[in-house]
Amino acid sequence: MNTTPTPYSPLPLKEMDSVTSICRPGHHTASASLNMDSSALALLTDFQQVRAFTVSSESGVDEALQTMKQNNIHMLLVLNDQGEFTGVISARILFGGSAVTRAMQERGIARADVTVDMIKLAREDMHSIDYERIERATLGDLVQTLKTSGDRHVLVTDHDEHGGLRIRGVISAREVSNALGVNLDHPPEAHSFSAIRSVVLGHDL
């Protein structure tokens, strides 16, 4: 284990079980001058400023992949038929292939019948950070958070006008890694029974 002292701290992560709504208003372009002491807001995809790309849980995996290609994005928020957030689907999951293959084998179906819901990273297996903490955090804090948790995507939550939690935005380990030249591509830590099963079976997160 790396015990090298660092001035940065991992941010507290919260469970996502009860968060179902998404903040409503492309991708921002990260500055070449970003460093570990830059504000964490610099790499937040803020859904108050850019549209959240979503996909129906019943959509096919190839439809989701096509949406990503058309919009030059690497992740979609998954919504159920009530419009509630239920998880995410990433290009990493789709291109990795193992999740799709496993869904086909377990259900005895063709690839064309595999839905996003079958292979998504479920909301219950994700974590979030309060927007207020992101406002005060540095990119170094984000790096420590992602290294500690193993998450590929961390959601950022705030409160809507009724006081309920909603998804304000998302932070991608891929973007943080690219902006800072830091390797965050490591096996995820399992946080629940389903996550443990995914890690053991080689689920691509």
User: pLDDT tens-digit profile of 113-163?
Assistant: 999 999 999 999 999 999 999 999 999 999 999 998 888 899 999 998 888
Range of the domain at 182: 17-23+35-200
Cα–Cα separations (whole angstroms), residue 63 to 26, 55, 58? 19, 9, 10
pLDDT of residue 1: 53
Domain contains 4: no
Domain contains 183: yes
Kindly report the pTM of this predicted structure: 0.73
Read off the pLDDT of residues 72-109 as tens digits, 9 standing for 90 and up.
888 999 999 999 999 999 988 888 778 999 999 999 99
The identity of residue 36, as a single letter, is M
The mean pLDDT of 55-60, rounded to a whole number, is 97
Domain contains 62: yes
Is residue 76 a contact partner of residue 53, using CB atoms and an 8 Å limit? yes
Domain contains 6: no
The mean pLDDT of 158-178, rounded to a whole number, is 90
Domain contains 163: yes
Domain contains 90: yes
Q: How many domains does the chain have?
A: 1
Question: What is the percentage of the chain residues whose pLDDT exceeds 70?
Answer: 84
Domain contains 92: yes
Sign (positive/negative) of CA torsion 178, 180, 185, 190? negative
Domain harbouring 182, CATH code: 3.10.580.10
Domain contains 29: no
